[in-house]
Every structure is written in structure tokens, then in C-alpha cells.
Amino acid sequence: MTDPLLAELLELARTAAARAGALLRDGRPADLGVAATKSSPIDVVTEMDIAAEKLITGYLSEHRPEDGFLGEEGASREGTSGVRWVIDPLDGTVNYLYNLPTWAVSIAAELDGERVVGVVEAPMRGETFHAVLGGGAYVNGTALRCRPAPPLDQALVSTGFNYVATVRTHQADVAQRLIPRLRDIRRGGSAAIDLCDVAAGRLDGYYERGLHPWDLAAGDLIAREAGALTGGRPGLPADGDLTVAASPGVFEPLQKILEELGAWHD
């Protein structure tokens, strides 16, 4: 990497994610409980989500005090440098609460509104994914490439479900109508990891409605830098209405079917 700013942002993101991941992995209390709820009583925040975000924002502020922040647990600062950090300190909180291994720390850096660095730390897998705009995607230093596209009826696709019951009911209906047209559907519980698994060739595709910027910022960049296509509804970028990521050849037919099935609305 030749750009000193991007190199600096990547190193800071990797260090912050590694420190937060270690805190979450090694500091998880045996009696971990719910500290707050968000969209519904089952959409939870734990004390560890909050502690991890404080660690990340504190570390980044120490090194780049003029940068902005957008964090899932409330970190928000405009900044004056043109750099904004988009942070999910614990993606997959319910998995973490239940001591399931599929959770991650996700940190992305934007420069003048464009995502330029993404890091996803998955401590229970022993994996660190990262990407720099135009520089490719990697896991533990090994270059990533998305999977060659199979026919759609042989594609393995992951998705996620909302914690609001009425929204989840519609999402389940979409999945029920989609699954006969695919090899199968998986539901891992961490958008960041699903996006990285598309990048790593472990999934042919992924889609979900209702993601926030911190859910997808780092993983979207990692998937694209590994050769996947990402977007939302046809002609639109990935957003809260719909996020789709898939190998070229799977992306367009999957996106088209999701549009027909109304996956972009509740």
C-alpha cells in the first residue's frame, strides 16, 4: 500500500478491532445479561457492546482526535478531518449473549463520504478480514476471492431476520418462497461475517433487509474487494431497504427475485 493515510487508517482499524475482540472474547462475564433493548425486547444490547465501543472510540480518538464517528451504541461525532469511522463493536449480539461463536467487531473508515478501509475481527474463528479500496481483500494476510458463480438453483445464500415480529414474519415469507429456487439458505446472525463469507467463497450470496450503516460498512467493502457485487434494490446501493452481496452471475438473478418477492419492504 502506497497511500500513507490509508495505511494509517488500516493499521488503526486493525489494532482497535483486535483489542475490542480480545476484550469481548476474554472479558465476557459468566453471568452476562441484557443492558438495554433497541427495536424490540429481543433486540438486545449487553454491557460488553458498550464497553467495546468505548474502547474503540477511545483508541481512535487518541490517535486521530479530529475524525468523526458513527457507532451502533451511540458514538456520534461530526469531525473536521474528512475521515469518519463507522463502528459496530459487536455484530451478532444475540449470538454473543448465548455464547455462540458467530459474532464480530466491524470497523470501517470513510474518507469524504467514501468507504476506503474495512476490518472485521471474528475472534472465535481466529480470523481478521480487511480490505482497502482498490487494494483487494484479505483474511489473516491471505488474499480473498469470491466463489465462481453456480446456477442460481445451486447457490448457497445466507440471510438475516429482524427482531420486530411483524417484520420478521414477512422476511420468513420471502425466504419460504425463495428457498425452492436455491441450493439452500443459511442464517448465521452476523451481517459482517456473512459479507466476509461471501468474500471468502464460503457463500454464493447474502441478502438482508433492515441493515444499518455500521452493520454493512466494513463487510460490503471486503466483499467488493474480493470480486463480489453488492447493492440494494436494482440500480441502488446497499442500504436499509435491502443489502445484497453475491458472486457475479448470482448477484443479478438473486437481486431480481428479491425485488419480485418484495424483500425490500416490511
CA angle 230, 110, 39 (to 5 degrees): 70
**Confidence class of residue 43 from pLDDT cuts 50, 70 and 90?**
confident
**Rounded Cα gap, residues 97 and 32, in angstroms:** 7
Looking at the chain, which residues constitute the CATH 3.40.190.80 domain(s)? 152-261
**Rounded Cα gap, residues 64 and 56, in angstroms:** 12
Whole-number pLDDT of residue 35 = 87
Whole-number pLDDT of residue 33 = 86
Whole-number pLDDT of residue 2 = 66
**Confidence class of residue 39 from pLDDT cuts 50, 70 and 90?**
confident
**Confidence class of residue 101 from pLDDT cuts 50, 70 and 90?**
very high
The residue type of 164 is V
**Rounded Cα gap, residues 226 and 158, in angstroms:** 17
**Rounded Cα gap, residues 194 and 200, in angstroms:** 10
Tens of pLDDT, residue by residue over 160-178, are 999 898 899 999 999 999 9
Q: What's domain 152-261's architecture?
A: 3-Layer(aba) Sandwich (3.40)
pTM given for the model: 0.96
Whole-number pLDDT of residue 1 = 56
**Confidence class of residue 41 from pLDDT cuts 50, 70 and 90?**
confident
Topology (CATH level 3) of domain 4-143: Fructose-1,6-Bisphosphatase; Chain A, domain 1 (3.30.540)
- SS3 state at 4: helix
Q: CB of 87 within 8 A of CB of 59?
A: no
Looking at the chain, which residues constitute the CATH 3.30.540.10 domain(s)? 4-143
184's grid cell: 439452500
**Rounded Cα gap, residues 218 and 215, in angstroms:** 8
14's grid cell: 486493525
The torsion angles phi and psi of 57, rounded to 5 degrees, stand at -65, -35
In 3D, which of 159, 209, 201 has the Cα closest to residue 184?
A: 159
Of all residues in the chain, the percent with pLDDT exceeding 70 is 99
The rounded mean pLDDT for the chain is 96
Give, for 224, the enclosing helix (H) or strand (E): helix 213-225
